[in-house]
Amino acid sequence: MGKQKFVFISYSSRDGKFVKEVVHTLENMGIFCWKAPEMIPAGSSYAKEIPKAIRECEVFLLILSQTSQDSIWVEKEIDTAISNRKNIIPLQIDDAPLNETFRFYLNNVQMVAYNQNPEKAMEELTAQLSQLIVNSPVKKEEGITVKKLSEPKNTTKMSLVRHLGDSNALRFNRIPLECKKCGSKSLSNISMGIYRCDKCGEENYDDYQTVRRYLDRVGMASAAEIEQNTGVPRRVISYFFKEEYLEIPKSSTIRVPCERCGAPIRTGVLCDSCKNVKGNKLLKKNDTWHSRI
């Protein structure tokens, strides 16, 4: 990629025809786009090139539709983008309601509603991209318009699993109401869980981003240490553990028991075997669980 700034396109192959038109429009405006499979070098693999491209991209453009919500690959790509703190722009192209996972992923992320007004949406999209990418002046194209821990032991060290989960977490995941630096209540959501103060420019974070950044810095810590050093309540940290956003590192000898069979596990409430047992009351409604990269 060199030093050229580019947009990573995340999409379902079933929306491929639409995506080609979007890419054509953006590249005619001087905005370089990266999308699979065209950008995968011969002899390389999706598993290697896609995470690399997401890490290096300037903007992550999500083509949001029912089919993309059904795609495990799109879900993994969003997960990687969030982990790498990328600017995420969802371009919604149909009227499908967001499922629980995508509602959490896109909490407070402003969508561009192509399905409601295509011409206005493309103008809004290119305006946003022109501010984030400065490869060349953008030309306007004519007509384009933890098991639930009762009381985690201080010795139980937890690290980050780079995945978000369902919308129930919104009840626990508090967002900042005022700037921690100047106290201003005027905050703008600039990315997943990140809020910039309009007055002083300070970045403020929701609970998940606060814990995540702390663990990125220290490597691993107990729930008590996380609470003490971040101010995030223990019940929230425990919820993140139960929902598999946090895990006990492999290097630790500590484990918690599976709530069904008692097998030792490092995150969540069930071991992998019990997750697949049909009729298990602890399974989620669609019998699926968080994937990890």
> Domain 7-132 maps to which CATH number in 1.20.58.760, 3.40.50.10140, 3.40.190.10, 3.40.1710.10?
3.40.50.10140
Q: Of residues 191 and 222, which shows the higher confidence score?
A: 222
Instruction: Please tell me whether residue 100 adopts helix, strand or coil conformation.
Output: helix
Estimate the share of the chain in helix, then strand, then coil, as percent rounded to the nearest 5. Answer: 35, 15, 50
Mean pLDDT of 192-213: 87
Q: Which residues pair with 203 in a beta bridge?
A: 196
DSSP code for 110: P
Q: Per-residue pLDDT tens for 69-116? A: 999 999 999 999 988 889 899 999 999 999 988 988 887 788 899 998
Instruction: Please tell me whether residue 59 adopts helix, strand or coil conformation.
Output: strand
Q: Per-residue pLDDT tens for 125-140? A: 888 887 787 543 434 3
- Cα–Cα distance measured from residue 88 to residue 84, given in angstroms and rounded to the nearest whole number: 11
Q: What is this structure's pTM?
A: 0.48
Residue 38 has a pLDDT of 87
**SS3 track for 169-208:** HHHCCCCCCCCCCCCCCCEEEEECCEEEECCCCCEEECHH
CB 207 within 8 A of CB 194: no
- Cα–Cα distance measured from residue 37 to residue 18, given in angstroms and rounded to the nearest whole number: 15
Q: Which residues pair with 188 in a beta bridge?
A: 196
CB 263 within 8 A of CB 179: no
Q: Is the pLDDT of residue 261 over 50?
A: yes
Q: Is the pLDDT of residue 165 over 60?
A: no
Q: What number of CA atoms fall less than 13 Å from residue 247's CA on the CB side? A: 18
CA distances from residue 70 to 17, 37, 107, 271, 280 in whole angstroms, order as listed? 18, 19, 18, 25, 23
Residue 280 has a pLDDT of 54
User: How crowded is residue 116: how many other Cβ atoms within 10 Å of its Cβ?
Assistant: 11
Residue 172 has a pLDDT of 61
- Cα–Cα distance measured from residue 142 to residue 265, given in angstroms and rounded to the nearest whole number: 58
CA distances from residue 290 to 85, 86, 275, 287 in whole angstroms, order as listed? 19, 21, 11, 10
| End-to-end Cα, the chain, rounded Å | 23
Listed ranges 2-6, 107-111, 156-160, 261-265; the one with the highest mean pLDDT: 261-265
Phi, psi of 30, deg, nearest 5: 90, 15
Residue 19 has a pLDDT of 94
Where do the structural domains in the chain lie, given as residue ranges? 7-132, 157-275
